[in-house]
Structure 1
Amino acid sequence: MNDGYSDVLDNIASSEPTPGGGSVAALALAHAHALALMVSRLTSGKERWKDGHSAAEYVISSSERGMKLAQDLAWEDAAAFNRVMDAYRMPKDSDTEKEARMESIKSATIGAALSPMAIVEESLGLIRSIAELAKFGNSNALTDLYSSAEMARTAAVIASLNVRINLDSISEEESSDLSSRLSILIDEINSEYISIRDVINERLGW
């Protein structure tokens, strides 16, 4: 832990609307990747856990990328919200200005839904990637892997709230595809999470 971490928390805790829940979701996902990386490195190269080596190497490769991407998504979510606010501040004196403003608001709002949707998609990717590691990874770090899955699922749930609140601001016709996609993703995440939970609980004898 260092002062930089405290600065992030202070930024979230400020009276500014960003970074908000979407950014927190992305940072939760980054933490989930970090835990998955730790468990993978505690498994990789250890003779006792040789059955988990390939799974560990796969997670190391994917989560090094995923952890960086999750941090980028935290910034992007805040930027997407700011673009919505900028659109609302556009002039609306003439009919032409009103029309341009409404189009900008709609476009920015869809963008503000797509940013957290990417977090949900990346959360599913992480949970899928650690399924094999749950079976064969270092048993001394199984609760950390369990925590990684839980953090990824939580990141998806938080991000889904931001998707939904933005979809509420656009027409059903324009939001239906995204809404359906979100439901499918969350269902898949919950299913994959339950499988990992059950595997880990069995290995721990819980």
Structure 2
Amino acid sequence: MGNPKGGMMNDGYMDVLRSIASSKPTPGGGSVAALSLAHAHSLSLMVARLTLAKEKWVDGHNAAETSIEISEPGLEESILLAISDSEAFESVMSAYRLPKVTEIEKKQRSEEIRNATIGAALAPLNTALSAQKLLSNLEKQSTSCNPNALTDLASASEMALSAAKIASLNVRINLEYIDGEDVDLLTSQIDTAVSESIKSANNVTLIVNQRLEW
């Protein structure tokens, strides 16, 4: 099948989607969460630049500049998080393939599995925490951005919230297999990240609806 028409849907973009669609376990949901976050950052940047483009939106310039400061590095970080998530999962699989003949090997294997599983939970947790930070800023950005881009900002909010929720699924499924105080801490962190993300996203929706008189 050829590429869809349109320069933005180039081979690189389609290759990522085809890689996700393959029968391989990675990239999976955790990487998709990070890619959703990348799209949210991209939309936030677009809204910020559309706001800075005209003096008539000067009241939103400070918030727009802050958004650029957050989302320029946030966009790059999101791609790294997507890669990190896939690598973390592969580390778990490698740990499970370790030999388990002797008691020493069994102990070492169990330790490696636990460490790798914690790593596999940390990758999506970082995505959720980054999404929470972005949503908090989108809340501020929504009050004064270019009104012609309000639905784009709302879309950024929805994408960031999806990133947090999807990431939480991947954190929780990894923590299912291990226990300990560090697991309790990670569980608390992901619960807080998601609940705070939901609050911010709901506030963005409320502000956008009010400004658009919906």
Normalization by structure 2: what TM-score?
Answer: 0.94
2 CA distance for matches of 1:87 and 1:194? 41
Per-residue CA deviations over 1:30-86 (Å, capped at 9, x if unaligned) read 000000000000001411100000000110111010000000000000000000000
* Larger relative helix fraction: 1
Consecutive unaligned residues in structure 2, runs of 5 or more? 1-8
The aligned counterpart of 1:16 is 24
Letter in 2 for 1:182: I
Letter in 1 for 2:40: A
2 CA distance for matches of 1:100 and 1:106? 10
2:77 is the alignment partner of 1:54:
no
The aligned counterpart of 1:121 is 129
Which of the numbers 106, 110, 130 marks the counterpart of 2:114? 106
2:174 is the alignment partner of 1:131:
no
The aligned counterpart of 2:40 is 32
2 CA distance for matches of 1:49 and 1:5? 33
CA RMSD of aligned residues (A): 0.8
SS at structure 2 position matched to 1:15 = coil
Per-residue CA deviations over 1:102-158 (Å, capped at 9, x if unaligned) read 000000000100000000000011111122210100000100000000000000000
Consecutive unaligned residues in structure 1, runs of 5 or more? none
The aligned counterpart of 1:187 is 195
The aligned counterpart of 1:177 is 185
Mapped contact 1:45–1:53 kept (Cα < 8 A): no
Percent same amino acid at aligned positions? 51
Over 6 Å off, 4+ runs? none
